[in-house]
Amino acid sequence: MTPKEVLDLAKEKDIKVVDLRFLDFPGVWQHFTVPIKELDESAFENGFGFDGSSIRGWQPIHASDMLVVPDPNTAQIDPFFEEPTLVLIGDIVDPITKEAYSRDPRNIAKKAEAYLKSTGIGDTCYIGPEAEFFIFDDIRYDNANNGCFYEVDSVEGIWNTGRDECPNLGYKPRHKEGYFPVPPTDKFQDMRTEMLLVLESMGIDTECQHHEVATAGQAEIDMRFKPLLVMGDQLMWFKYILKNVAYKYGRTVTFMPKPLYGDNGTGMHTHISIWNGDTPVFAGDKYAGLSQEAMYAIGGILKHCRALCAFTNPSTNSYKRLVPGFEAPVNLAYSSRNRSAAVRIPMYSQSPKAKRIEFRTPDPSCNGYLAFSAMLMAVLDGIENKIDPGEPLDKNIYDLPPEELANIPSAPGSLDEALEALKEDHEFLLKGDVFTQDVIDMWIEYKTDNEVNAVKLRPHPYEFFLYYDI
């Protein structure tokens, strides 16, 4: 869409205001709104000013002025605002040099796509994330010097079988039995369908919606694969739409990886493929119908997985899900069909066009632009350096004897381990200036200071159960 076409759309839809959106460093959408009269064709070059020092992980206060330059290809009508509102996602630039901002996640995604083309390996990286989430009825939490607590609740929660609900009608999915009974056990069919239809109305292609394994409203809506940058934009719309539809129903959605103890966490299995024009680069005659390039791509992901986790699993809570011996794939191996491997080759279709690899470790707390870009860079490093992934592991990893399991490397066990791995292994991310050293350093610094240390310094409620009487 051209700037003129955006202005024509605004006139046709009687748009009153324009909402400008961009992503902060950790991955939360930010916005401000201007009257429609402020949007003309020059705005798509000159942008709009804002204070970059107030955005997490960005500018110091003495160099705070930044510009957000709207991308006309992202024009959408917001489905929730009362007044007709045009939404434009913007790119961040320096107001003096007019250069793209190195810490803008969308800029990193653009550079990753450009680097792919420069390698000659392909021209498009398709990304298909399966983002899971929880729908809760209530969420309360607090943190103070002398105490802390959290409590979530759901009409579906198995813990509520004995609650007086005036009346309690039962039909609450037991732990790990939410995949996927029909209503009335599944109480969120209509809400998930509305989420799906709103996504479709925005031009976001979906494939299915369903309840997920855990009790208490765990769910999944799958988007059809799209090019990396487009999927980065779509993931932001995805989270926004799901949260706002749930809010309308008086409920709340979270993409936090592990909000419940004793039940499945929330993952984001991510499908990756590379195409060169009309040719699927990952289709061939090797293992599971993959090409040699795809095998090397797997090698790249497995080699760099510990560093990748700093972006694909970027919260301290992520590692409550990534615990050896439980539901998440922490063992760095690959397989067809075997869902206990970190990398899986889906076998639903034998068509060459369907050949892809599925990285199962990530979760949806990630900043999609950064996570998808890092995955692509690991894939490309594998192909460029012909990294052998070794032999597949076509058996249940969880049933392996200890001596055999000891030979399989594992994903990090904590965010600080992942950040340490990123510190030691990030040269592959710097190729093509996709991730700059400044981005790597700031990511490690921000996550360490604001999340890792903040959690380490606080007593955990369970520690009182374990140790108070010592």
Question: What is the set of active-site residues?
Answer: 51, 130, 132, 212, 220, 269, 339, 358, 360
- Partners of 359 in the beta sheet? 270, 343
**Burial label, 427 (beta-carbon count in 10 A; 0-12, 13-18, 19+):** exposed
* DSSP 8-class letter at 42: T
Phi, psi of 195 (to 5 degrees): -60, -50
What are the CA-CA distances from residue 352 to residues 78, 223, 368 (Å)? 37, 20, 27
Which residue in 91, 112, 99 sits closest to 430, CA to CA? 112
**Burial label, 164 (beta-carbon count in 10 A; 0-12, 13-18, 19+):** exposed
Q: How far apart are CA 202 and CA 151, in angstroms?
A: 34
Phi, psi of 10 (to 5 degrees): -60, -40
**Which DSSP string corresponds to 358-414?**
EE-S--TTS-HHHHHHHHHHHHHHHHHTT----S---S-GGGS-HHHHTTS-B--SS
**Which DSSP string corresponds to 110-178?**
HHHHHHHHHHTS-SEEEEEEEEEEEEESEEEEEEETTEEEEEEE-TT-GGGTTS--SS-----PPTT--
The helix-helix angle for 292-312 and 415-424 (nearest 10°) equals: 120
Token reading at 9? 């759309």
Which residue in 268, 303, 285, 304 sits closest to 355, CA to CA? 285
- Chain position carrying tokens 């902060």: 24
Q: How far apart are CA 52 and CA 24, in angstroms?
A: 10
Which residue in 19, 70, 22 sits closest to 46, CA to CA? 70
CA angle, residues 181, 225, 89, in degrees to nearest 5: 110
The C-alpha R_g of the chain, in whole angstroms, comes to 23
